[in-house]
């Protein structure tokens, strides 16, 4: 084996391939268990028992497919569809440049997701997680170059590619947790033509994929797939901020590059989707190992049941001197008589019953129900460990009450929540890396074309340039924009419609309250109510489509109110004087006003506004709670009925107890202002 050694800054020998070989030993047990579980899931080849020993074909054909069944149930419970990007301003403030950049980035990410094999890669990664204990995805910036007839570069189309990395082809530095990982590597297999195109070197100098798979003799098909292909390790070194491409056969470094993605986390992959891990070990424990004892007991009982069921049949012994007895069992049909010579002799021997001795199946048949009951008990124990109730398996009893079934479903949802959260974080991290690559490496032409922003009504070249400049400074994106995903579960149209209806109800309620504000208080309270209106609008995802229109109408309304107030005061409008219009507070308490606003009216309006805010919050909490129950807790915090009622009671108590005190305070201030004005 030939190694290439480099010298780091401290003068120590540094060999990426030696680190890869070390990591192979570190993950050896995990890879061996993965092969065993992969064979079991596929139900092919010679099955292995828990200890890795081969079983005979008879035993292999009689087993209960616990692993396959659990994966088939958990996969759609954890991941169902590719997500949609959800990019928004982090603090929901009025920032037109950040809003434009968010909309553009969200559209480009959605296009990138739809153009890649995102769904297939994620589904394979989740399946690897459920079977072997680890799923991994690799994100690549793969621009396409177009050339003219003379070979000159004519155009570049930016693209992002997503690759599922098999658990056998992923390694990282041996450590205790992901935050301490210093390098990651994945193995890819290139055709000789692809190798020449990527590295401009002769692939025969670096061996073939057949050599790199020499340790996997049991995986004949995998070796056949990679035969005559070149195995290459893509090694990302975080400490030295560089990337190595290393031959898997001979260990030579094919190419070395500086970090060309410049990602915040350096690695072009998120934290793998791990199964059970502990704070002191990064190697995951496959789920099957947690219930292997129950699974093997179920397999043993299943084999016994099948053997006994096969033994329950109508067989026995008969008197060989009476040949007609065999014909009676093998040839006779309904109402057919078989002729017998000397039937009197047969009667003397006790007739047919005295000439046949049947095999006693009653004793065997009585054991079979006992074995079925024992297997069901083991299945119940397995359900307690995995959290998969019979409701999820679709085997609930009809005699159970609806309450009992709901308790089982809620219990299963709680057990699945942790796994769903891990999957959601895994998907969100992938989308975040995609967004970072788009921001840092996509051209203005690609961003404009993929976002289709030039066809927006408010499009202008100046707005686009400002948004593009904003995105190219990644600190802006990092601190002023939040990249999330909506959901990885199938969208519920009824919930979407309910969310829209709730949004309209809340918005129309606030608008109705704004219309009830007395004319004298409108210049003061309408801007405040407008802030409440925008606060609610930005909290609904469906409100993003109307946010700009509502904001524009509010600005126009406030401007008209200020103009009207200035005209009533007899003051000419001066747009260059920002202090103009503030005299409305004097009008409110001026005794010459036709209908002065009393402090009680102001207090009442404030209380009504506050109550409306909390009613809006209550509606939002109710929606969040329903979505939480529907999705198993993906979308946020649980709000119990007790918490909601406690919050509302506190608001009511505050309003009632503070009315008199606040009223007297405001009266004193108002009377003092009136006296000062009169003097």
318 against 110, higher pLDDT:
110
- Each residue of 385-415: pLDDT tens digit? 877 765 455 555 555 555 555 555 555 567 7
- Each residue of 177-202: pLDDT tens digit? 999 999 999 999 998 898 998 899 98
Task: Please tell me the predicted confidence (pLDDT) of residue 440.
Answer: 92
Residue with the two structure tokens 């503070």: 658
Q: Which DSSP letter does residue 218 get?
A: T
For residues 449, 450, 452, 454, the Cα torsion angle rounded to the nearest 10 degrees is: -30
**Contact call for residues 419 and 413 (beta carbons, < 8 A):** no
- To the nearest 10 degrees (0 to 180), the angle between helices 28-42 and 118-131 is 100
Q: How confident is the model at residue 350 (pLDDT cuts 50, 70, 90)?
A: low
Q: Which DSSP letter does residue 245 get?
A: E
Instruction: Reply yes or no on whether the pLDDT at 650 is more than 50.
Output: yes
Structure tokens at 146: 């177009």
317 against 636, higher pLDDT:
317
**Contact call for residues 177 and 283 (beta carbons, < 8 A):** no
b vs e for 388-398, b when ≥16 Cβ sit within 10 Å of the residue's Cβ? bbbbbeeeeee
CB burial class (10 A; 0-12, 13-18, 19+) of residue 56? exposed
Q: How confident is the model at residue 483 (pLDDT cuts 50, 70, 90)?
A: confident
CB burial class (10 A; 0-12, 13-18, 19+) of residue 285? middle
**Contact call for residues 106 and 87 (beta carbons, < 8 A):** yes
**Contact call for residues 111 and 408 (beta carbons, < 8 A):** no
Long-range contacts of range 558-567, CB-CB < 8 Å, 24 or more positions apart? Answer: 558/523, 558/526, 558/527, 558/530, 561/522, 561/523, 561/526, 562/523, 564/523, 565/523
**Contact call for residues 428 and 420 (beta carbons, < 8 A):** no
Q: CA-CA distance, 512 to 521, in Å (whole number)? A: 15
- Each residue of 545-575: pLDDT tens digit? 666 677 777 777 777 777 776 666 655 545 5
Q: CA-CA distance, 185 to 251, in Å (whole number)? A: 14
Name the pTM for this structure: 0.67
Cβ neighbors of 558 (< 8 A, separation 6 or more) are 523, 526, 527, 530
Q: Which helix (H) or strand (E) holds 582?
A: none
Instruction: Reply yes or no on whether the pLDDT at 426 is more than 90.
Output: yes
User: Beta 134-141 vs 356-358: how paired, if at all?
Assistant: unpaired
Structure tokens at 135: 């799923």
> Collapsing DSSP states into helix, strand and coil, what is residue 674?
helix
Q: CA-CA distance, 230 to 195, in Å (whole number)? A: 7
> What CA–CA distances, in Å, run from 261 to 154, 277, 437, 440?
23, 29, 7, 8
Q: Which helix (H) or strand (E) holds 30?
A: helix 28-42
């Amino acid at each position: 084996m030939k190694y290439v050694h480099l010298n780091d800054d401290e003068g120590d020998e540094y060999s990426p391939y030696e680190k890869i070989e070390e990591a192979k030993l570190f993950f050896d047990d995990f890879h061996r268990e993965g092969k065993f579980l992969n064979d079991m899931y596929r139900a092919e080849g010679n099955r292995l028992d828990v200890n890795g020993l081969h079983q005979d074909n008879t035993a292999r054909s009689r087993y209960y497919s616990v692993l396959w069944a659990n994966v088939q149930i958990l996969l759609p419970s954890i991941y169902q569809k590719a997500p949609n990007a959800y990019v928004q301003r982090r603090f929901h403030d009025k920032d037109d440049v950040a809003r434009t950049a968010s909309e553009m980035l969200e559209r480009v990410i959605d296009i990138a997701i739809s153009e890649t094999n995102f769904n297939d890669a994620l589904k394979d990664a989740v399946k690897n997680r459920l079977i072997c204990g680890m799923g991994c995805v690799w994100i690549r910036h793969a621009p396409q170059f177009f050339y003219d007839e003379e070979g000159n570069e004519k155009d570049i189309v930016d693209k992002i590619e997503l690759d599922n990395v098999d658990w056998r082809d992923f390694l990282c530095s041996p450590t205790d947790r992901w935050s301490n990982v210093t390098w990651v590597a994945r193995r890819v297999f290139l055709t000789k033509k692809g190798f020449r195109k990527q590295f401009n070197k002769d692939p025969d100098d670096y061996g073939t994929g057949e050599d790199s798979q020499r340790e996997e003799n049991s995986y004949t098909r995998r070796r056949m797939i990679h035969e005559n292909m070149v195995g290459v390790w893509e090694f990302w070194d975080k400490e030295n901020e560089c990337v190595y491409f290393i031959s898997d056969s001979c260990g030579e470094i094919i190419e070395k590059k500086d970090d060309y993605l410049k990602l915040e986390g350096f690695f072009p992959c998120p934290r793998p989707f791990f199964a059970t891990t502990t704070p002191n070990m990064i190697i995951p424990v496959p789920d099957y190992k947690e219930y292997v004892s129950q699974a093997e007991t179920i397999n043993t009982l299943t084999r016994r049941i099948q053997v006994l069921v096969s033994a329950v049949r109508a067989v026995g012994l008969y008197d060989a001197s009476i040949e007609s007895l065999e014909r009676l069992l093998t040839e006779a049909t309904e109402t057919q008589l078989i002729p017998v010579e000397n039937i009197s002799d047969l009667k003397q021997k006790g007739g047919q019953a005295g000439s046949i001795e049947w095999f006693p199946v009653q004793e065997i048949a009585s054991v079979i129900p006992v074995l079925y009951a024992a297997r069901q008990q083991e299945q119940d124990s397995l359900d307690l460990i995995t959290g998969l109730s019979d409701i999820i398996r679709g085997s609930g009893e009809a005699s159970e009450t609806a309450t009992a079934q709901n308790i089982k479903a809620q219990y299963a949802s709680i057990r699945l929540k942790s796994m769903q959260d891990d999957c959601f974080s895994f998907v969100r991290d992938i989308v975040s890396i995609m967004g970072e690559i788009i921001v840092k490496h996509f051209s203005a032409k690609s961003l404009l074309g993929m976002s289709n922003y030039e066809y927006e009504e408010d499009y202008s070249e100046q707005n686009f340039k400002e948004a593009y400049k904003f995105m190219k400074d990644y600190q802006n994106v990092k601190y002023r924009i939040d990249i999330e995903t909506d959901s990885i579960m199938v969208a519920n149209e009824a919930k979407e419609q309910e969310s829209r209806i709730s949004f309209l109800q809340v918005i129309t309620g606030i608008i109705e309250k704004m219309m009830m504000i007395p004319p004298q208080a409108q210049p003061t309270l309408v801007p405040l109510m407008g802030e409440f209106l925008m606060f609610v609008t930005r909290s609904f995802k469906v409100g993003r489509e109307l946010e700009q229109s509502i904001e524009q109408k509010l600005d126009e309304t406030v401007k008209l109110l200020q103009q009207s107030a200035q005209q009533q005061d007899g003051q000419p409008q001066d747009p260059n004087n920002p202090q103009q219009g503030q005299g409305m507070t004097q009008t409110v308490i001026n005794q010459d006003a036709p209908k002065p606003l009393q402090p009680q009216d102001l207090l009442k309006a404030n209380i009504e506004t506050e109550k409306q805010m909390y009613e809006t919050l209550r509606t939002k909490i109710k929606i969040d709670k329903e979505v939480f129950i529907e999705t198993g807790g993906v979308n946020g915090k649980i709000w119990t009925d007790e918490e909601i009622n406690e919050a509302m009671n506190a608001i009511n108590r505050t309003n009632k107890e503070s009315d008199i005190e606040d009223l007297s305070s405001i009266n004193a201030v108002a009377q003092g202002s009136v006296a000062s004005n009169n003097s």
